[in-house]
Amino acid sequence: MILTAHQPVYLPWLGLFHKIALSDVFISFNQVQYLPKDWNNRNRIKTRTGPVWLTVPVLKAGHREKTIKDIAINNNEPWRRKHWRSIHLNYSNAPHFGRYASFFEDLYKREWENLTELNEYMLRWFLDVLNIKVDFRDASQYNFEGVKSGLVLDMCKKLNADIYIFGELGRDYADVNAFELAGVKPVFQEYRHPSYAQINGDFVSHLSIIDLLFNCGDKSLEILMEGNMTKEDIIKGRYN
């Protein structure tokens, strides 16, 4: 069984979907500490003048003591209207905008109170649209213990994982020996970002998945997997 996990993030980039596509089970790791100025509540889209950030404002009181799952959105700021306006303004002329626009229009009409609920709702929709089939689970359903590499290994043991997919930065903290002694093979993602046809000028990489969807539609999954490790590679042992 191939397992991976990631904290819930806003409008994720392509690399997250590649990592999930490699797995059988995905854990939304929503019980780690919230990190300001990280990807939990923001990502970039492309505009006519270059990439800009879309940031969901959060209530900051006591956030350093809270897990991501407990972070509340600051709805005193008109962020929903601003985000939808920015998306509509910059992507309405994209080839596949009309196909997906109704989802986002409805999304930004709703009043979201909790950041994780927003992020997980969007992630499930993205996975469905991309046709990525995975067993999506919530970390709060379990009692994972430990820190950093030990926490990930405990998760693997409790879910009987044979292989765990780390992000590229996992090399900086993963205790490979401990994993192998436990019978869990660590695999490290090395995502090669593809190029694709974009509106609004020269190509810009490392944007939100919505940039790829609006520009490329049904070809999005094929494009984001292009030149990268596949699940078949992992099953056949063709990995780092």
Domain assignment present for 142? yes
Residue 18 placed within a domain: yes
C-alpha–C-alpha distance, residues 174 and 231, integer Å? 21
* Per-residue confidence (pLDDT) for residue 64, from 0 to 100: 66
> What is the predicted pLDDT for the residue at 238?
78
Which tokens go with 17? 């979907």
Half-sphere exposure of 220 (CA within 13 A, CB side): 27
Q: Considering the domain boundaries, does residue 240 fall inside one?
A: no
Mean residue pLDDT across the chain: 94
Residues 1-52 pLDDT 10s:
999 999 999 999 999 999 999 999 999 998 877 777 788 999 999 999 999 9
- Rounded to whole angstroms, the Cα distance separating 151 from 134 reads 22
Confidence tier at 227 by pLDDT (50, 70, 90): very high
Give the three-state DSSP class for 57. coil
Mean pLDDT for the stretch of residues 58-82: 88
Burial of residue 13, with CB atoms counted within 10 A of its CB: 0-12 exposed, 13-18 middle, 19 or more buried: buried
**pLDDT, tens digit, 9 for 90 and up, residues 118-158:** 999 999 999 999 999 999 999 988 989 888 899 999 999 99
Q: Mean pLDDT throughout 67-88? A: 95
Domain count, the chain: 1
pLDDT at 102: 97
Confidence of residue 63 (pLDDT cuts 50, 70, 90): low
- Residue 54 belongs to what domain range? 2-235
> Contact 48/91 with Cβ under 8 angstroms?
no
Distance between CA atoms of residues 141 and 184, nearest Å: 22
Hey, is 189 helix, strand or coil? coil
pTM metric for this prediction:
0.94
Instruction: Tell me the C-alpha distance between 87 and 106, whole Å.
Output: 13
pLDDT digits (tens, 9 = 90+) for 152-205: 999 999 999 999 999 988 988 999 999 999 999 999 999 999 999 999 999 999
Question: Which SS3 state, helix, strand or coil, does residue 5 take?
Answer: strand
At 130, list the tokens: 């991309």
Res 34: pLDDT? 78
The alpha carbons of the chain give a radius of gyration, in whole angstroms, of: 18
Mean pLDDT of 216-233: 96
Residue 178 lies in a domain: yes
Please give the Cα distance from 198 to 55 (Å, whole number). 22
pLDDT of residue 88: 97
Whether the predicted pLDDT of 240 surpasses 70: no
